[in-house]
Chain A
Amino acid sequence: MNPQDRKYFVVGFVVLAALLYTARLFYVQVVEDKYKLSASNQAFLYQTDYPPRGAIFDRNGKLLVFNQVAYDLMVVPRDMEGCDTTGLCAILNITKDEMLKRLARLSGSVEDASRDYRSHIFESQMLPELNARLQERMYKFNGFYVQSRTVRKYTYPIAAHLLGYVGEVNDAECAANPYYKSGDYIGKSGIEKGYEEYLRGKKGFQIKMRDVHNNIKGSYQNGKYDSAAVEGKDLVATLDADLQLYGEQLMQNKIGGLCAIEPATGEILALITSPTYDPNLFVGRDFSKNYVMLVKDSIGRPLFNRALMSSYPPGSTFKLMNALIGLQEGVLTPATMYPCAHGYPPLGGKPKCHPHGSPTNLYGSIATSCNSYYSYVFKSILDNRKYKSQEEGYKAWRQFVLSFGVGMEIGTDLPYENKGNVPTPEYYDKVFGKGRWKSITLTGAGLGIGQAELGVTPVQMCNIICTIANRGYYHVPHCIKTIEGDSSFVQRWTKRHYTMVTSTAAYEAVIEGMAQVMTNGTGRAVQIPGIEMCGKTGTAQNPHGDDHSVFVLFAPRVNPKIAIAVLVENAGYGAAYAAPIASLMVEKYLTGKVERKDMEQRMLESDLIHKTAGTQKKVSH
């Protein structure tokens, strides 16, 4: 080849090399993303500022929940290379083995830990002394850093279920809401969960630039992408801390739920589940230990919020409902008389009844809690000629019941509400067969007297009493009155929910009956002198053992200030435990003090959890 022609090879080589290099540049700079990611990880420090969570006050301005500073030791397992683990273990007083186990648990496995770039809480809520000791040698602990946090502190050891608690987010919560990152805190139950968005505030973010020696070199783009943390909002709860505390004392050593509501507003004054626990147990380093301890109590189940989540048969308190529906439907008047023969005569004395004067009118039936009277009433509602069939009658009855907020989520501001249960016609089709059940079947099952499959939570039970106290409507029960800086919030609960029982006369008739309960009926022992009260006892049969003691009450009769529902599990007659507790609560709330010291003493001292269970006659009272 002529040497002159070799220039083409040389030029060709140069052009080829230039093209190859340009292609490689295109790949590195435009196609491949990993370098951009590495660059931002290296040169940017993403800082998060955690705002203090909002405080919670009771209705009288008493501070219930506030914050204190704690220090979380955070770890990014991937960055741990070169960490002085021995020194760290010595300070934390754990073994190296324990440390490795903990890391493996945080990251999923030992192998994952070396790749895991997420932040985890390695040691939570350390005291200032421990933090100070760590800080001295922090530069040796690669991959670890301390994040100062605020943790919850509770002024009184009360209302654990209502207030809820705060814990580290889990994977599901992270996945559900991109706001949360691994290691963040979130409200787990109660108000803390229901009002999480208000309480948490807004995290602040900062992007700092750092050089190769980890020195901070200022904000990225002069802070264009930074945002300041916004403090959580303070909440004022509807709770009355004194009443709540008193109620928890009365309920101690008993299993059950209690709900007290101001009927005119729907504000929850006290919401008690027993047994309960000190909310401070769920703060700090012993969280897990305490949690496990409480979970292990399988009899008391202290973590179970019975007042809101447990559906109980309402027993005789449900007779009020049937009376209201009967009156509204015109199948019952206050003067209607029905006989009782220690039971419901048409079914040969079933459901059974206890000895009382017979026959009675409406008032007497409420005061004496007559089972056969309400079996008649219930059957007459279903047999109403205006409905084509008894099944249609049942459907109508069911709609009436639902309009009182039973059998559905009532819509409180607390998470995990139980719906309760009002059986559907389809359910009975399944149990008895289509077309094979009649009004008499259900009457026999006990729907007239609040038994059978009926299920009502204490909150729903109390809401029914509020509706009666209000003569026809309720406000959705709620536990937050106002939110700092949110003036429109108070509007949220002003809506009146009217039930399908619209006749004021019906309510007045039932209220008269409830008043007679207190003056000469089953509740006369717990009448507070000088206050006109309206109550109803219940003794709820249940498949789990002795009858539940139930009592509902509102007072005063005119312009009611408080409605209350109390259920004590397996405690027998309604008058035995639920009635005195409800009555003492009302006395405390309305008069500010308790005069009936004997009754108070008896309730405070009685211990039903550790008693030996005795057999009791299963008769509604």
Chain B
Amino acid sequence: MREKSDRLFYNVDWLLVGIFLALVVMGWFNIYSAVYDEQKSDIFNWTRLESKQMIFAVTSIVLAFSILVIDATFFTATAFYLYAGVLLLNLIVAFAGAEIKGSRSWFKFGGFSLQPAEFAKWATALALAKFMSGLAKPNMKQAMGIAIGIIALPVLIIILLQRETGVALVFAAMVIVLYREGLVPGWLLLIGLISVLAMVVGIKYHEAIAFLVLIFAGLAALRILMLRKKTFKQILISAIAVLYLGGLMFVSSKVIEKMPEHQTGRIKVWLGLDVDRATEDRFGYNTKQSLIAIGSGGLAGKGYLDGTQTKFRFVPEQETDFIFCTVGEEWGFYGSAFVVLLYSMLIVRIILRSERQRSDFTRIYGYAVASIFLFHLMVNVGMTIGILPVIGIPLPFFSYGGSSLISFTVLLFIFVKLDSQRLLILR
């Protein structure tokens, strides 16, 4: 046993490594196509994005294998320090970083830039795993406040100080971790889901709110009449539910108007609300162009480097947030469904491996990793195909950018390493 486990890549889940490599390589080829220019494309011209992304890709692959070399106890031991360090970086960037489009989240070094908010994802996952795995089981419920605090701290810094809402939203995905660990009951998630639906309905049909509330109230009254024998408590709960949902609808329809203009615009366009032409052009343009690009790919796509919508820059941000358009246009339904399948395999594999851990730390960390990937996949692809409003977050391994590629690599490979040592870690 000992001798075997001493070997460098002992017990590594090669399926995860394989999916990772496939995504990185496909991602790079896709970036190459997205910025393709017959005259200018050049893998070794360091001012061009495809070359830069190649450096990032090579760096991240090297980094991935470096993490496999480090002993997993390093991450369990230094989790809080890494968390603190990353938070500090995020604080510094909020004051000393370069201002881009009203947000301060980037450090600039010559031709390269760094976004510490990306690092907060794995740092927070580590800290959460460390804290929660250290708790004795009965105390878990009481510790919920602290767990939420660990998640909320980077969110607050990123939203309030750096003004980068998109990146911060991903921390909401951690609710899955809390759910799995029993800190959040299922009914609460259900209420959350219904609340989000109520808000969407409220925004979309704000004229009809009163009507809906009446229907709810009517249904509740009907139920009370049918169950006449039941107690006052049930009447009270029904009344509260009606008031809560109605109130939520009303409030959300008002709040939407008070939100920053671009958020209001994106949400309204997404919900298909009546907006003037200028608003539609400004906030609906990305989604429209993205749908045209993906939709025009058809079943089998237009062929590599032959996409017209992406190559001729109809789709904005196509090498970063809207990179999935290139997949959809050039590889068609086959290609885009394959990419979705690959991500789903990655996520499900991580969940299943997490469940096999003896160590709480690895399981909690694994769930955090799966949640983050899931959130990115759903939100990023969802916005390109018009399911969700436009939220500026990258598609892991596909979107252009060193910070995100490197942090997703770190995020994934810490798990791969922890998982490979599952037989040694007993906590």
Contact = CB atoms under 8 A, between A and B. Distances in A.
Nearest to A39: B296
B351 A11 contact: yes
B308 A44 contact: yes
A29 B336 contact: yes
Given A21-B385, A28-B291, A30-B299, A43 B314 contact: yes
A76 to B, nearest CB: 18
A602 interface: no
Interface string A19-48: 011101110111010111011101110000
B332 A29 contact: yes
A211 B312 contact: yes
Given A18-B341, A22-B340, A25-B328, A39 B299 contact: no
Interface of A: 1, 3-4, 6-7, 9-11, 14-15, 17-18, 20-22, 24-26, 28-30, 32, 34-36, 38-40, 42-44, 209-213, 217
B239 interface: no
A21 B351 contact: no
A6 B180 contact: yes
Contacts of A38: 292, 295-296
A30 B340 contact: no
A1 B179 CA distance: 11
Interface string B196-214: 0000000000000000000
A29 B294 contact: yes
B186 A9 contact: yes
Contact of B179 (A6, A17, A211, A212): A6
Contacts, number: 116
A42 B291 CA distance: 13
User: Interface of chain A, helix or strand or loop or mixed?
Assistant: helix
B180 A18 contact: no
A30 B333 contact: yes
A209 B310 CA distance: 12
Interface string B364-406: 0001001000100010011001110000000000000000000
A212 B336 CA distance: 24
Contacts of A22: 337, 340-341
A37 to B, nearest CB: 9
Contact of A25 (B181, B309, B333, B344): B333
A29 B328 contact: yes
A450 to B, nearest CB: 71
A1 B186 contact: yes
A28 B308 contact: no
Contacts of A20: 387
Contacts of B180: 3, 6-7, 10
B150 to A, nearest CB: 19
Given A29-B295, A32-B295, A43-B309, 6 more contacts: A1-B186, A4-B355, A25-B385, A39-B293, A39-B296, A211-B314
A17 B291 contact: no
A238 to B, nearest CB: 53
Nearest to A24: B385
B281 to A, nearest CB: 10
Interface string B153-195: 0000000000000000000000010011110001000000000
B341 A7 contact: no
Contacts of A209: 308, 312
A36 B295 contact: yes
A39 B295 contact: yes
A35 B382 CA distance: 17
Contact of B296 (A9, A10, A35): A35
A43 B315 CA distance: 11
B340 A18 contact: yes
Contacts of B312: 43, 209-212, 217
A35 B348 contact: no
Given A17-B374, A28-B291, A3 B182 contact: yes
Given A35-B292, A35-B295, A43-B308, A21 B381 contact: yes
A24 B387 contact: yes
B298 interface: yes
Given A14-B348, A35-B294, A21 B308 contact: no
Contacts of A30: 298-299, 333
A7 B186 CA distance: 12
B251 interface: no
Contacts of A9: 186
Contacts of A35: 291-292, 294-296
Nearest to A32: B295
24 contacts: A3-B180, A4-B355, A6-B186, A11-B351, A11-B352, A14-B351, A17-B378, A21-B381, A22-B340, A22-B341, A25-B337, A26-B337, A28-B328, A29-B297, A29-B299, A29-B333, A30-B298, A36-B296, A40-B296, A210-B312, A211-B312, A211-B314, A212-B312, A212-B314
Interface in B276-311: 291-299, 308-309
B262 interface: no
A349 B362 CA distance: 129
Nearest to B184: A6
B254 interface: no
Which are the 5 A-B pairs with shortest beta-carbon distances?
A35-B295, A39-B296, A211-B312, A43-B308, A18-B344
B313 interface: yes
Nearest to B382: A21
A28 B351 contact: no
Nearest to B302: A39
